[in-house]
Amino acid sequence: MKVKIGYKNYPIIWSTDGDCGNCDPNLGVIWVSDKMPLEEQAVTLLHEVLHAIWSDRAMPEKAIEEAAVDGLSRGLATVFIDNPEFLEWLGEALNGDGD
């Protein structure tokens, strides 16, 4: 699977070692551990995608970034879980399929 962020296509690499997840904007790669429950993998992937967006948009540096990305990824995951119809509509709207 790949995720397009800005002009880069980030491959998602499922890993069995290391951290829960990592994003390398210079290489354009996201790693996610497959040793966690699926829900945690999803939150971790959102977390790493937000790091990639942060880099793509040239946002301020690290100390603020980690706290913001962590809170936003968990918040987005909760919104998506609690509102499946919203997530479906959002996907359709962003793909030009929604009304």
Average pLDDT over residues 85-91: 81
Q: Closest by alpha carbon to 67, among 85, 49, 51, 91?
A: 51
Strand order in the sheet with 29-33: 2-5, 8-15, 29-33, 21-24
Instruction: Kindly provide the residue ranges of all beta strands, DSSP E only, lying in 6-95, ordered along the sequence.
Output: 8-15, 21-24, 29-33
- Top CATH class of 2-94 equals mainly alpha
Q: For residue range 36-51, what is the model confidence (pLDDT) as tens digits?
A: 888 888 889 999 998 8
Give the residue extent of every domain in the chain: 2-94
Q: Which residue has the tokens 């210079």?
A: 26
Q: For residues 21 and 96, which has the higher predicted lDDT (pLDDT)?
A: 21
- Collapsed DSSP state (helix, strand, coil) of residue 70: helix
Q: How confident is the model at residue 61 (pLDDT cuts 50, 70, 90)?
A: confident
